[in-house]
Chains A and B, each alone.
Chain A
Amino acid sequence: MSGRAPEDDPVESADAPSEATGPAVPGQPADRWYDDEAGPMVRLFSLTRGRTRPAGDGYFDLISMVSARSAADRDPLLPEPVLDPEHQAILDLCADEPLSVAELGSYTDLPVSVVRVLLGDLDDAELIDVTRPVPLAELPDEHLLREVINGLRAL
């Protein structure tokens, strides 16, 4: 774990195995943790198998739009993906309409950093399409902004 850039995703260090051996020593009931005090039932680093994804690459921006691909669009030569329930939950959420990364985090109740790792798996398995937000520096003249203004006025 040494050598990681400091801006690396915080999930792993948050739940690093070294901390799992904390005060919950067997045979010392006074130190046992129950319920919420014991932390999440499944450590988040288990869910991502310790993997992290740099948050700063912009590919899974908070407003990148994710939509599940239909099975027909998938390369038939790719191996059948092994999905965790959380992967499936994300696919189900964005099956009918595209959802932002932020919305997926909210609806799955998972931190965005974890959602990004899971989305990376789904992306590698060609199960999702990802549309990044328009970089603002490259917006076309005022056409889009005008459209936004008109859309807001109609609210």
Chain B
Amino acid sequence: MASAHSDGTAGTAGPGGPTGEAGNRLPGGISLKILVAGGFGVGKTTMVGSVSEIRPLRTEERLSEAGRPLDDLVGVEGKDTTTVAMDFGRIDLRPGLALYLFGTPGQDRFWFVWDELARGSLGAVVLADTRRLADCFPSVDFFEQRGIPFVIAVNCFEGTEVFAAEDVRSALDLDPEVPVLLCDARRREDSRDVLVRLVEHAAARRRVG
């Protein structure tokens, strides 16, 4: 057990902090994560894929919580086992600084998986479809309750009426500082702009404290 367990905080107390040369000294570099949440079929994996450098990957967690409600799209291994799949992507911002995007699994039911995903996350994108705006209520509640910075990205599907961002804001009863953007999750530039806005929002929140 004598192996050198490096930690994001270890050895980074010097000037420049983890982002200076100390950051590059970490064997694995710095890794950050952003969550992409929202209702079923709203385009979470599409957004992860459009802005990632690798095609979206899938990883699984097995759960054995008897009696838990099962999601429509989640495979069942046994009578009391559920496999929760998470789609994710990776963006290398520079050598030694990787940003991971995780699509949140299930239809807002696997909160305990969300808790692990949310721990230490930079923030979250809540994707909304104006035809089913209520689908994103649980995601909004989740991030509000935990004080995790989030933005609402309205995925403008073709053939849908384009709502004004302010209409969405009032429909979701959002705090005035929560950014609301319109986007096409298939477009890399749109997804990138949503992420930039989220990180700016997270930075502003840190300033306020």
Residues of A whose CB lies within 8 Å of any CB of B are 10-11, 13-14, 19, 39, 44, 55-56, 58-59, 61-67, 75, 98, 100, 102-103, 105-107, 111-113, 123-124, 126, 128-136, 138-149, 151-153, 155
Contacts and interface: CB of A to CB of B under 8 A. Distances in A.
Contacts, number: 186
B196 interface: yes
Interface stretch (B1-9, B126-134, B176-184): B1-9
Contacts of A11: 62
Interface of B: 1-9, 12, 16-19, 26-33, 51, 57-65, 77-78, 80-81, 83, 86, 88, 90-91, 93-94, 97-100, 102, 116-117, 119-122, 188, 192, 195-196, 199-200, 202-203, 206-207
Contacts of B12: 140
Contacts of A102: 57, 59, 86, 88, 100, 102
A144 B58 contact: no
A106 B58 CA distance: 6
Q: Is the interface of B mostly helix, strand, loop or mixed?
A: mixed
A18 B167 CA distance: 56
Nearest to A148: B199
Contact of A63 (B6, B100, B207): B100
A145 B202 contact: yes
A5 to B, nearest CB: 13
Q: Which of B90, B120, B122 has the most CB of A within 10 A?
A: B120
Contact of B2 (A75, A128, A144): A75
A131 B8 contact: yes
7 contacts: A39-B77, A100-B98, A102-B57, A102-B86, A106-B58, A111-B59, A155-B192
A130 B59 contact: no
B61 A111 contact: yes
B94 A103 contact: no
Contact of A149 (B6, B7, B78, B199): B199
A131 B7 contact: yes
A139 B120 CA distance: 10
Contact of A130 (B5, B86, B121): B5
B116 to A, nearest CB: 7
B63 A63 contact: no
Given A65-B31, A111-B61, A149-B200, A133 B206 contact: no
A98 B29 contact: yes
Contact of A135 (B9, B29, B81, B88): B9
